Structures are given as C-alpha cells and as structure tokens.
Structure 1
C-alpha cells in the first residue's frame, strides 16, 4: 500500500506542474483581463519588437491574440506623434496590416 501512495502523490505532482505551466502561458499577456491569451512572454516580446520596428518606434500598449486578416498577434502602438495604430502580425512576426484607430470613424 505504501508504493501506491507514493505513485499517486507523484502523479498528482506531475499534473499540478503541467497545469501550473499552462496557467503561466495562458496569463502571460500582462493585462488585467480574463486569461484568454495563449502565448508566452517571449512571443509577446517578439511581437512587440516587430510592431515597433514596423511603426518606426513608439510605445506598445497591448499585445493580444488575433484572428483577423490571417494575423496571429495584434499589438496596439502609440506612435511618437501621438496617433495609435493596431499592428497585426502573422505567426512569423511579419506585418499583415497596420490600421489606424481613427480609420473607421470620421468621414
């Protein structure tokens, strides 16, 4: 009976370790919203770097997963002139499209 207890405890420990790793990946987006992000901090950093390079610099406000226009990531960037754009990137961190936040409003 002692061997079964040790094996069961080891199994529970392995499940908890895997579940804990999943939570770290799911919540590593850095926002206060629900844990819906499915990327690592490294992926978020790469997406941010690619978005800032594409916009010529600025400040990255958020990184989110995206499914529009074939994109994988969406990075909101405030450029040095104060305008805000959404940079959509594919899974290889290549720009799919850059959209200004005011594109859909004042016509």
Structure 2
C-alpha cells in the first residue's frame, strides 16, 4: 500500500472513531434516551412542592424535574417511612398522577 493511501485510511479510521465517541458522549451514560434532568426553580418550585406535599399528605421533597417524560413537572417526595412517591404535575401545578417509586428487589430472583 502506498504511504499516502495508508495516511488517508488511518485518518478516515481515526475520524470515524472520534465521531463515534462524540455521539456516545453526547448521549450520556443513561441508556433511557432522556436528556439531562432540569430542576424546578423559583416560584414554580414553591408551587410544585406545595401541590406534591398536599397530594402525599406530607414528607419532604427530595427531587424535582421540569419537562419530565410523564408530565410537565415531577416532584419526588420521601415519606416519613422512607418510601418515595413521584408526583406528576401539569403546567398549572394540578396533580395528573402519582406513583410509588419502588425499587425491584426481586430483579434476579426466580
């Protein structure tokens, strides 16, 4: 193989590897295909917290997200017993759903 052909082939290979790495880095390490979580801030945070805590009957807010895949806002509430509930809110802070955030402890069990 000629030297110039080897250089071109090597450069093309390096470019392909770099492009693949760039796509992988842009996609992040989360396999779900979601973008980065954006927390709720300002007055919206206060309203979302009030709505979520009213829905759960208490607890403490341990996470928030704007633009959740299930609703406009998501508020994670940790209850006094340590369990977690994800409360889904629309743009007007009305509850559109809530579910217990349960880890599947039997994932590997038969």
C-alpha contact 1:52 1:59 (8 A) present in aligned 2: yes
Matching residue of 1:53: 54
- Aligned counterparts of 2:94 and 2:81: Cα–Cα separation in 1: 23
Asked if the contact 1:62/1:76 (under 8 Å) is kept, the reply is yes
Distance in 2 of aligned mates of 1:98 and 1:56: 12
Distance across 2 between alignment mates of 1:68 and 1:36: 10
Which residues in structure 2 correspond to 1:1-107 (within 5 Å)? 37=38, 40-69=41-70, 71-102=71-102, 105-106=104-105
TM-score w.r.t. length of structure 1: 0.57
Q: Which entry has the higher C-alpha Rg, 1 or 2?
A: 2
How many residues are treated as equivalent by the alignment?
71
SS in structure 2 of the partner of residue 96 of structure 1: strand
How far off is 1:38 after superposition?
A: 7.6
In 1, the alpha carbon distance for the partners of 2:99 and 2:41 equals 24
Name stretches of at least 5 consecutive residues in structure 2 with no aligned partner.
1-35
Contact persistence 1:60–1:75 (CA under 8 A): yes
> Structure 1 stretches of 5 or more lacking a match?
1-34
Match of 1:22 in 2: none
In structure 1, C-alpha distance between the alignment counterparts of 2:56 and 2:79, rounded to whole Å = 7
Residue equivalent to 1:12: none
Q: 1:36 to 1:77 in 2, by over 3 A?
A: closer
